[in-house]
Chains A and B, each alone.
Chain A
Amino acid sequence: MIDRIASGFHPFVIPFVFGMVFVIGWCILALVRILFQLTHQDRLAFFKSLVNPKTALRNIKDIFANCLLHVKLWKRNKLLGYMHSSIAFGWFMLIVLGHLEVFIYVPHRINLFYYPIFFNYFVSEADATIGGSLLFFLMDFFLLMVLSGIVLAMVKRFRSMLFGMRRTTRPAFLDRIGLWALWMIFPLRWIAETFTAHISGGSFLTAPMSHLLVRVLGDNIPVMPFWWAYSIALCVFICVLPFTRYRHIPAEMLLIPRRNAGLKIRNARKGLAKVEVFSCPNCGVCIDACPMSVKKANIKDCTVYLNRQIRRGNEKRIEQISDKCLLCGKCEAVCQVGVQGPTIRVAQRSIRKYGLSQDYSNIDIQPLVDAAKGSKVVYFAGCMTKLTPRISTAMESLFKKAGVEYVWMDRDGGLCCGRPMLTAGRLEQAGQMIAMNERIIKESGAGTLVLSCPICYKMFKEHYNLPGVKIVHHTEYLEELVRSGVLKLEKGDTFYVYHDPCELGRGSGIYEAPRKLVGQAAMIVDAGHTREERSCGGGSLGSLTLSFAQREAITKASLADLGVNHPDAIATACPLCLATFSRYSSRPVRDIAEIVDIQSNGSE
């Protein structure tokens, strides 16, 4: 092993060194800025979580699994998983092994941070020992891994369908420059290392080509242009990195510890929201997932484009995109980084100024408080159930069959749960309604609150403070009644397909109780997409601007997906889904409460 160049320097490393200094400086500046944007408590909680050994370990594990190995992506799409992890993990290993080589063979150069990157240029006969040739073999192996990933990436750019992606993001101008620079780095590195392999040594990927070159060209191999090109490609890539989608690489490493610290988005543009927006890798998985993108409509309104517009500060588009979204949460469920698309949108809605703000202090809730008193079970049907009274009728009948004493809190009108206001970003108004409903329920002295509407359910679960009150959706409640034998179900012979409402499934994680009920009361078949993958029925209150005509296409696509296994009828657990599907469905649509009511007898 000989350190070939006495000074340990050659001008071609300058572009790389310049780029590296720039990007590290930028990252430190961005980190400091974002830390200052957090509230004092959040900052404290963040630092505490960093020193807590449990979260620290989880951070390391998550960063390794998600940023390098892309475990979540592997689970979703093996080919995409391989493509991303081969580039990320392969590159990481090249850097680690490069440092190892320097550390073992030329330890006095370890302080030159460009040395591991251009190791092959600066040394000669490094593969003379067994250890050296093993390291060279590993280097070539990981280079091959990265190159295979790059080839896949190129194919994907032009034929994304081969990777199971019907649509992919349209890269912005700088993204294209970064993309081409990234594509060039590794082929150039391969060529450069091949051209110096007769001096430095090489392995299976570089040595054979090198032998051939020496035979043909003798000593006239043009080595320098390729080392220069390699260094320049690296420089271009890391210099545009902060301004392209590739900033997700440093941002995601910051996002994971923040999420593990349990921080929430408090500002529409600063702090955690900023990290989330910067962490978006623009992969475009959310485009295919978005229910609005059926028939190639609204593609530019997916989360990936929201993040891009927020980065650009295009206020008009930010408003359009964040208002149109159904807030179904599917993009968040499929996102590999876990960007909270719906939460970011609600945050954007919350910074609007209104000339007229609703105020409910004039509403006298005393009659509601009095009416709700004196029962162990309170039933809150919700606004949407008022439009589909067959659900509340079925629930009344079931309460009677089960012999449960209950009060119907909003039988003769009442207050909304506050979720529509909350999703419109008007947190203060939502807070007023929450306080009033809390008072009614607390003063009723009830131990159980049964809700028919998943929208209300999510709201009560997440935003209400009701100690000692068990909050259940009617599917959970009925399932418990059936399990304890209070209600007995007869299995019917109708084939139902169950539609997971967004707010009940993805929103609250209730998938089993409704399925069990339908399975016990009737036959059940699967939809094309189920559980987390289920598409919104198109009725969602989350969207502020989608028109009826635009919603129709979404509903019809969702219905078509429900019908793939030819069920006789559709079962759902949400009054809004029921109303929306009933409008266009050729099959009867029933709420689970109705099905249970038809198929049940009381214990007597």
Chain B
Amino acid sequence: MAGLDGRVVLVTGAGAGMGRSHAQILAARGADIVVQDIGEPSARETAEMVLSAGRRAHVAVCDVSDGEALTAAIEEAVVALGPIDVLVNNAGIHALTPFDEIEEAEFDRIFAVNVAGSFNAAKAVLPGMKARCRGAIVNVASTSGQIGTPNDTHYCASKGAILGLTKAWAKELAPWSIRVNAVSPGPIATEMTVRNRGWEGIRERAEKEIPLRRYGMPEDVSHAVAFLAGDGASFVTGQVITLAGGLAIVGI
């Protein structure tokens, strides 16, 4: 069973980390990928990976917080690959700053990318999804938005907002059979995490804090994205899948 055969998936922030992993795993399952990223060289690298998996790729270089540029880039992508079937709102930025030191500009920038970026991308793909009465949107939240983390005010708030978007869109877009869900990654050993913490630091925290005693790998998250993107989740909408090795057990 080849799950996402021929579906066109737009992954934002697909030039590195989890976004790149989503692009690779979705391509391995038969999807064609619009690789959106702010950085052209990294986006091209991801696109090469998609091509070598035998799928089509289109590179869309822009800042997701710039709605006009993103809309134009998506229009080009649709001409190249066809209408977008699935949107993965992955682009996000992060800054560790104590609350009383966060400048307004830093707060705004986090929200511009994480929240407005997701809003802009969804708005751009929505007319096509509505016209075809089908579509899936997978938003990438974070356990930080569910349970909070210190020195992370703006990021936590932005990821909490993603959960709000997810639920509101799920209800608003259901009449067009457009499903909207979120994945919520906890501790994941992305390249950036490995660089910042080192494997020793990762092991230490895993043993102390994570019930499964390991960090997740980016592909753990990608498999959940793929599940929510595919028809296996055809009755799942408005929901959050938390990937945290048991660290955040909050859903009811």
B is bound to A? no
B binding-site residues for A, Cβ under 8 Å: none
A binding-site residues for B, Cβ under 8 Å: none
